[in-house]
Structure 1
Amino acid sequence: MLTHLLVVLVISAASCLQSSFVFKHHDNSEVVKELTRIHHECLSITRLYDLNHTSVRGQPLVVIEFSGNPGVHEPLEPEFKYVANMHGDETLGRELLLKLADELCYSFRAGDPETARLIDTTRIHIMPSMNPDGWDAATKAKFDVSSYLTYFTQLTQSTGRENAHGVDLNRDFPDLQRKMHLMLRRSKDSAIHHLFDGDTGRAIQPETQALIEWITSIPFVLSANFHGGALVANYPFDDTNDGSRRQYTPSPDEAVFQQLARVYADNHPQMHLGVSCGFVSDNFTSTGGITNGAAWYKVTGGMQDFNYLASNSLDLTIEVGCEKYPPASELAEEWENNKSPLMEFMWRVHQGIKGFVINALTREPINEAEISVLSGSEGYDLKLPDRAVTTTKLGEFWRILPPGNFTLRVTAAGYETRIIKVRIPEFDKQRGAAREDITLQPKSATGSPKPGVVPTDFSQ
């Protein structure tokens, strides 16, 4: 009788939970208000923060974090991020991420075990708007009659795609691909990872600077940014090797990028069909709704390539719909279309291999050790050298890989190089990434390794 009563109480409590989220185009103050509400409703698993730079017009760049221990990087817990509204007139991604934050909070409070496990094992960062000034301009142009008429009479007026300085933020990042090719011309053995040295080479926008500092200060493993005007999952490289307008330009991680893109496209009811938005170049039927960025059209100075060449993170650009600023009446349906892709893509941060790299003698973590793929599944035998991932100051590494057998090379300054073979199993949410802790012998070291275990109690 008591057990039955407890079950009834649990069901009743869950049924009383109702989200107050309303599908609409939230203005910038309403975005902050919604994120604040979500934070207060899920205080134990969220943190609300803004980046160190505001937009041109002084608006905050707000992020909500979900984690079992908000505000703390826990050892071997991967970091994940979603960013939207980089182009201010592309608004669907902004509303999808706002609803995603609401959904994570609601599902956690309702006791959904899968949501609870995702939050407990992942540090998730969600930024609904990178370009709040652009959103203001786009909304004014769309709904203010006088501005709408002015737009057609003055073609120079921004529609909100750019920021308040009229700069396209997805062309404003340092061109690391050019730097990569200059290095490879000098030596084909050049390391093509973490190419950003802090020098942007020119003045950049505050929104771009904020994202650069964010990307390079947190050890993100996987991320995506959301655009509109097409329906496709786009993966690096975005820029072409020879400067041509369109040329298929694969990265060393071509195989895993294709797989990750398919995770999003295949879970979307229309994207995997290769729906065209009316442009000749938008035919993605043969690829199942995914595309190499440069094969579609070149983008120089984009955030996607910057993520890949400046950090450990694999980043995709998801085009979520033909209409950049869809009617509010369509937002609920678009949420249903994207809910599963958004969730399944987040889970893939746990795909592949992870572990610590440590000193074989002292058992201390090794910072900036490099983990490279020498050989493995089809797609990793490219002309480019592998793009290595590096360890954090805790000695952690994550490497998203498809299933198969791989040969890895692990190097660090002052240590003997190790070659190891690993087997990556099929992805499983319960199992997560394969664990492989790696010890490196200091050069010219004598004696036997000290007994001990891989440290797991570091704090950052």
Structure 2
Amino acid sequence: MMVLFTPCLCLWLGAWVSTTSGLDFRYHNTVEIEQYLKAVNRNYSSFTHLHSIGKSVEGRDLWVLVLGKYPNEHKIGIPEFKYVGNMHGNEVVGRVLLLHLIEHLTQGYLSDPEVTRILNSTRVHILPSMNPDGFEASDRDCMFSEGRFNKHGVDLNRNFPDAFERDEEEPREAEVRAIMDWLSSESFVLSANLHGGAVVASYPYDNSNGGAELQRGSSVSPDNDVFVHLAKTYSFSHTHMHKENNCYESKDFKNGITNGYYWYPLSGGMQDYNYVWSQCLEITLELSCCKYPPESDLPGLWRANKPALLAYMQQVHLGVKGQVLDSTGVPVQNALVEVEGRRNLCPFRTDKNGEYYRLLLPGNYTFKVTALGQESITETLSIPHGPDVYSAMTHNFVLQRSSSSVPDVTQPTESCTSKVRNPAGSHSVALLASWFVPLLSMTLRSLLV
């Protein structure tokens, strides 16, 4: 009996030690990450939930660990936040940092005040590797390693539907379809995806068709002020990202941030898809000059990024949140919640719980709320800085049934189930100009994001 029992005991202790004595600073393969996440979920089952959102081309699970006071389901008033790493298989720092973030959050819950407030007020989703096939195929070259693409040789950050180009028939890769399905199943509010090859925080838009969004070389979204704030939150919380000139022969990024299109245009990017179709504000974090740095660099990269990862998560509490209700108190699904002066390509709508979240900087904003069969209402709100108290301002809008036979519902320029192409009209000259990017620059920079 003892001979049989001892190996089992050792295996159990090994799993326990791996999640309590500290995670090694090294590159864990896909099997090791799966084992680690399962051990974390076993040991911290009261505030974690582990599930796969789909499989890679080669059949590897895309594991997501959810952390929070209510990990198994959404609770009204608690925003959904996510981090996605390793979208490009050979950009591996984000994969390591997210594992160490998991360790920090699980070990700090109920003992570290900052961690406890984050997890009590936010439902956090972490996908350490979106492209495990690419990682397994990669080598350890600093910049030019194999493994960027998925098993089909596709760049996953060029494979999402694009708001500015017609590509309805383009096939979506398994990993991209998994993300799209995930976004449709959760009402994410804020997100970041972690890359490598530069040190900068990049924000939407990544693309343009030469419409009104194209301003001084940047493709400017209606929520540009919020995106700049989010990017600066990360760069200034990072030990040196905000100091510019972080990589040899790298472009100078003022304050360590850049508009994605201004850096270089790309179509089919994930951050634009999140923002336009899923109402989730996402930025792209470039976290290391080397895409695959030596393992000896990993502790320093964790120290540099840890405060920024935590500070960025807290920004999910910017602005205002609440529900849209009818006169009897029943939540109104699919109501439009629009902010004056911010004409989003796809208007922000309430979810199945009648909930809405609008990330906004402190100030006064006028909201118009409309829903089929209800009288529209317009209200002006004064919004404080929510992240300081780990909660956005809460405000419910109450609608009255309409007596008119004509519904007063604002319609988007084009159906948001397809493409939103050039809503400002034809700008062929500007469009051609936007495509004029030096070939050499495009070739080099396309290896980064």
The TM-score with structure 1 as length reference comes to: 0.79
Q: Deviations over 1:250-298 (max 9, x none)?
A: 0000000000111100101111111242346x211xx301110000001
2:197 to 229, 236, 247: 229
Letter in 1 for 2:130: M
Give matches, 1:47-62, under 5 Å: 47-51=49-53, 53-62=54-63
Q: What residue in structure 2 maps to residue 90 of structure 1? A: 91
Of 308, 315, 337, the match for 2:275: 308
- Contact persistence 1:263–1:344 (CA under 8 A): yes
| Cα distance, 1:387–1:255 mapped onto 2, change above 3 Å | farther
The answer for the alignment partner of 1:101 in structure 2 is 102
Match of 1:261 in 2: 231
Q: State the superposition RMSD in angstroms.
A: 2.2
Residues 1:385 and 1:113: Cα distance change in structure 2 (over 3 Å): closer
State the partner residue of 1:349. 316
Map 1:12-411; keep pairs closer than 5 Å: 18-51=20-53, 53-108=54-109, 111-139=111-139, 142=141, 159-178=146-165, 200-242=168-210, 247-279=217-249, 282-284=251-253, 287-360=254-327, 362-375=328-341, 388-411=347-370
The DSSP-based 3-state class of the residue aligned with 1:134 is helix
Matched to 1:57, the amino acid is E
| Alignment deviations for residues 189-221 of structure 1 (CA, whole Å, 9 cap, x no partner) | xxxxxxxxxx95232110011011111221000
AA partner of residue 135 (structure 2): W
State the alpha-carbon separation in 2 of the partners of residues 26 and 219 from structure 1. Answer: 30
Q: What is the CA deviation profile of residues 134-183 of structure 1, one whole-angstrom value per residue up to 9, with x for unaligned ones?
A: 001113x659xxxx9xx9xxxxxx8100001100000001112336xxxx
Contact 2:314 2:387 in 1 (8 A): no
Distance 1:427 1:274, change over 3 A: farther
Look up the equivalent residue of 1:128 and give its one-letter code. Answer: P
C-alpha deviation, 1:232, in angstroms: 0.5
Describe the shift of the 1:125–1:428 C-alpha distance in structure 2 as closer, same or farther (beyond 3 A): closer
Distance (whole Å) between structure 1 residues aligned to residue 285 and residue 361 of structure 2: 20
**Shift of residue 120 of structure 1?**
1.5
Q: 1:121 deviation in Å?
A: 1.5
Match of 1:453 in 2: none
CA pair 75-228 structure 1, distance change in 2 beyond 3 A: same
Q: What SS does the corresponding residue of 1:176 show, helix, strand or coil?
A: coil
State the secondary structure of the residue aligned to 1:47: strand
Work out the CA distance in 2 between the residues paired with 1:221 and 1:169: 22
Distance in 2 between residues matched to 1:69 and 1:59, nearest whole Å: 27
Shift of 1:18: 4.6
Give the CA deviation at 1:312.
1.4
Query: Offset at 1:431?
Result: 5.4
Q: Whole-Å Cα distance in 2 between the matches of residues 343 and 398 of structure 1?
A: 20
- Post-superposition offset of 1:427: 3.6
Query: Which segments of 5 or more consecutive residues in structure 2 lack a partner in the other structure?
Result: 1-18, 405-449
Distance 1:308 1:444 in 2: 35
- The 1:57–1:385 alpha-carbon spacing in structure 2 relative to 1, beyond 3 Å, is closer
Structure 2 CA distance for partners of 1:279 and 1:441, relative to 1, 3 Å: farther
Cα deviation for residue 323 of structure 1 reads: 0.7
Equivalent of 1:425 in 384, 406, 411: 384
Which amino acid counterpart does residue 121 of structure 1 have in structure 2? S
Aligned equivalent of 2:4: none
Equivalent residues of 2:117, 2:390 under 8 A apart: no
Q: Does the 8 Å contact 2:27/2:295 carry over to 1?
A: yes
Instruction: Deviation per CA, 1:24-48: give whole Å up to 9, x if none.
Output: 0111111112212222221100011
Code of the aligned partner of 2:324: V
Output the CA distance in 2 between the equivalents of 1:128 and 1:443: 48
SS at match of 2:333: coil
Deviations 1:59-93 (A, max 9, x none): 11011000212211111210010001000000000
SS of alignment partner, residue 100 of structure 2: helix
2:442 is aligned with 1:442: no
CA distance in 2, matches of 1:178, 1:162: 22
Instruction: Provide structure 1 residue ranges, at least 5 long, that are not aligned to the other structure.
Output: 1-16, 152-157, 180-198, 446-460
Moved runs in structure 1, 4+ residues, more than 6 A?
none
Maintained 8 Å contact 2:321/2:393 = yes
What is aligned with 2:441? none
What SS does the corresponding residue of 2:118 show, helix, strand or coil?
Answer: helix
SS of corresponding position for 2:98: helix
User: C-alpha distance in 1, partners of 2:177/2:308?
Assistant: 29
Distance in 1 (alpha carbons) for counterparts of 2:280 and 2:347: 11
Aligned-partner Cα distance in 2 for 1:412–1:301: 31
The separation in 1 between residues aligned to 2:224 and 2:345, in whole angstroms, is 11
**Which secondary structure state, in structure 1, belongs to the residue aligned with residue 388 of structure 2?**
coil
Alpha-carbon offset, residue 387 of structure 1:
5.2
CA–CA separation in structure 2 for the residues paired with 1:127 and 1:313: 16
Give the whole-Å Cα distance in 2 for the aligned partners of 1:81 and 1:200. 26
Task: Look up the match of 1:193.
Answer: none
**TM-score scaled by length of structure 2:** 0.81
Alignment: residue pair count: 383
Shift of residue 385 of structure 1?
A: 5.1
Q: Contact 1:41–1:105 at 8 Å: present in 2 too?
A: no
Counterparts of 1:88 and 1:229, CA distance in 2 = 12
Aligned-residue identity in percent: 42
C-alpha distance in 1 between matches for 2:159 and 2:345: 26
Contact 1:19 1:106 in 2 (8 A): no
